[in-house]
A and B are shown apart, each in its own frame.
Chain A
Amino acid sequence: MEDKQVAVRMRGITKEFPGKVVANKDVDLDVYRGEILALLGENGSGKTTLMNMLSGIYFPDAGTIEIDGKQVVIDSPRTAFDYGIGMIHQHFKLVNVFTAAENIVLGLKEKGPFDLQASAQRIKAICDAYGFDVNPNQKVYDMSVSQKQTVEIVKMLYRGADILILDEPTAVLTPQETDKLFAVLRNMRDDGKAVIIITHKLHEVQDISDRVAVLRKGEYVGEMVTADTTPEEMTTMMVGHQVSLNIDRPPVEEDYRMERIRVKNLTVKSHDGVTRLDDVSFTAYTGEILGIAGISGSGQKELLEAIAGLQPVESGSIEYVIDATGEVDEVEQLIGMDPIKIAQMGVVLSFVPEDRLGMGLVANMDITDNMMLRSFRNGASPFTDRDNPRHLAELVVDELEVNTPSVTTPVRRLSGGNVQKVLVGREIAAAPTVLLSAYAVRGLDVNSSYLIYDLLNRQKGNGVAVVYVGEDLDVLLELCDRILVLCGGKVSGIVDGRTTTKNEVGLMMTKLGGGEQQ
């Protein structure tokens, strides 16, 4: 600690966006060489904005930035790069048909003839120094998400970055991959680089960082040495008041538990013939939350869309159980149905898709018009009724505390958490018997996430069969009654959420050679 060198010193950084609250207000931040700093804060607290100013994407309205003790002006990503600042964004910027090496040297103006072999040697050297596992000749389209991320990091190092910013790097990784990432980050720290990691996840902050800086509503709240703090203290700083970090899991009421969705031997192929789901069988019960875990792209999307009538199915059956108490089960076959036919059968099936603005909602329409997406066909009149949707919109805004100027605001102007509240609110308002949700809390801050957990639990209490596709294993383990683990389109097992461990689920996620499938 004593002779740590200051790599970045930000002073009085202020950034305002028109019509919005101040994104950053008078923020002071120091980053030292040879340390990992975790930047913590809720959605909209200005973490990414602050880092975007450091990496030259935004330009501050006021304030100064010093790099290695010298005051600098960072007016473009290129300038940022000249100062050795490299940022790894949540969405990778790689060319799919190029190899790792080609992506890494892309856009560099190196002197002398173009020599990919020499570059590959240098890449190898960087990988060996920090413990990366990259094959320079592998094509990006053949890579798993974690390998792509590795290429992004190596790309930055290859270009000489010694101040690295990672924006929520673990969101797409399995626990095992996260451990690997953290190992190389520690190596980079020990090599004297400054590492900044933006994250929501407190246990990761504790795991990886040396110091935590907290932002709240665009303002710098304070910083702590990680070893001296607790998750409770960090949350309190982040949210501004005490929050309970335990997710409720009300017990399943056995009397009301009955089969609702019966999936048997379901196989789904993408239109280019790749098997997405392979012989999947399971049952979802009323009054329980069935979690679905798996590395992203293991077939979660196809599974939910097949149930919702949006995905053509190769073989197998999906039965909606109306009544299983009699001699013969009363069931409806959902395969071959589209969303309208399913609704006409009297099955109220709600679906909160992963792509909220691209699928669940229409970004350019206001809240009222989005509320009527499901119901606009009602009635015989050729004209739309906007009164009921408006009442529903007002109700959702009111009850879920959606932060919006009015119900006539286009949903694209709302923040991520509020967008999700609108979507979940609409889907729950239909009083469903089955509620499918994909990554319902992705990108949401602590408060909004807990509101969503609460809503899901209430649906469970009402006897709804809830399916929760999630990526955060801690949440899955705390919220779900049972967890189905997918790996490469196959079910690698269904475990009890109350007794299983994170390690067990993590291993099941990769059991079938998870790295191989796309």
Chain B
Amino acid sequence: MIHISKRREMPLAQALAIRIGAIAVALVVCGIITAITTGLNPISVYATMFKGAFGSTRKIWIFLQEAAMLLCVSLALTPAFRMKFWNLGGEGQILMGALASAACMIVLGKTMSNVVLIPIMLVASLVAGAIWAVIPAIFKARWNTNETLFTLMMNYVATQLVAYYVIVWEVPKGSGNIGIINQSTEIGWLPQIGSSKYLLNILLVGLLTVAMYIYLNYSKHGYEISVVGESANTARYVGIKVERVIVRTLLLSGAVCGFAGLLLVAGTNHTLTTTIAGGRGFTAVMVAWLAQFNPAIMVASSALLAFMEQGAGEISTAFGLNHSFGDILTGIILFFIIGSEFFINYRVRVQKKERRSQSDV
């Protein structure tokens, strides 16, 4: 008989050991599956994955940029998630932020200098992202609509809006692309620190992580978010205006997503496409959950997912494998990491059936 019982609390070291063990087992399982399905040596596949993320200075920079962008979106979702408001609209909110900054660059780029334009872009993208998040929030606060569906649907609207403006602004006409915005003047481009065009993004996200950590754990707002998330009833009982907290928190969540859109358009890509968010709005849901909504742990979980993504791309080119194969490996590893939580929360013992056999005699 298998006996499952809830654990009380596990020491941190032991919980960490279980998680590391889970990753080790996942790697073994991935290795077996790699060997069976592709006939390749799993060790060399892993080595290639590693090379994909850390193989050259350029690759390290790309890895850091990817991890930072993922972290940025995860940080954006976290306040909402702590409040148990399941904001699945990160994708749309990033797109709106991206659209707003691209609009500023295109429309105002010829008349303004960077000193004026970049602050305007910053405000515009924050506001655009915030509006996209606050609409479902108001509906949730007023009429208790389902935020999961609502935020999800807002993504499609955002995608179509961006698709429309890509055609409006396309260069050259008929190409269906905007191309690099202000390529000659570099107006509206975020300044570059040193030789890397990614460093500024990474530093900004680093600052954001610290700020979000402090906001959530030490501010009165953060405390209100936790109380509302745990029990709206308790919040009302102590006079917290639940509706106001929902709206305020989603303004923040959307604004940070919009900020991610700004970083993508003005910081690195310098163009606007419908796929600029790249699914980060959804991947970030996983990153945030893996980190249990703790911004500090989120640094690690976003790094892990960025690494898997980079590695998967590398093995698909190096071994001529389909890109989906990398996704399979990512899936297996995530499955084991998430599955290990079960063993952290529950104790499983296998009991001998002696008692039953006794009574059967």
Contact = CB atoms under 8 A, between A and B. Distances in A.
Given A19-B9, A364-B230, A384-B220, A73 B356 contact: yes
B195 interface: no
Given A20-B8, A71-B359, A365-B226, A359 B234 contact: yes
Contacts, number: 80
Contacts of B323: none
Interface string A353-382: 101001111111100010011101100001
Chain A binding surface, main DSSP class:
loop
Interface in A190-238: none
Contacts of A377: 220
A357 to B, nearest CB: 8
Contact of A72 (B3, B9, B218, B359): B359
A114 interface: no
19 contacts: A18-B5, A20-B8, A70-B359, A73-B359, A338-B239, A339-B238, A358-B234, A359-B231, A359-B237, A360-B234, A362-B226, A362-B231, A363-B230, A363-B231, A365-B226, A373-B227, A373-B238, A376-B220, A377-B220
A364 to B, nearest CB: 5
Interface string B1-29: 10101111100000000000000000000
A18 B7 contact: yes
B110 interface: no
A384 B218 contact: yes
B223 interface: yes
Interface in A58-72: 59, 64, 70-72
Interface in A39-68: 59, 64
Given A359-B233, A383-B218, 19 more contacts: A18-B6, A19-B8, A59-B1, A59-B3, A73-B355, A75-B1, A75-B356, A308-B237, A339-B237, A343-B239, A351-B237, A355-B233, A360-B237, A362-B226, A363-B230, A369-B223, A373-B238, A374-B238, A376-B220
Nearest to B356: A73
A413 interface: yes
B3 to A, nearest CB: 7
B105 to A, nearest CB: 34
Nearest to A377: B220
Contact of B221 (A64, A340, A382): A382
A360 B8 CA distance: 24
Contacts of B58: none
B230 A365 contact: yes
A413 B218 contact: no
B275 interface: no
A362 B234 CA distance: 7
A6 interface: no
Contacts of B6: 18
Interface string A339-352: 11001000000010
B223 A310 contact: no
B324 interface: no
Interface string B233-272: 1101111000000000000000000000000000000000
A10 to B, nearest CB: 14
A369 B227 CA distance: 10
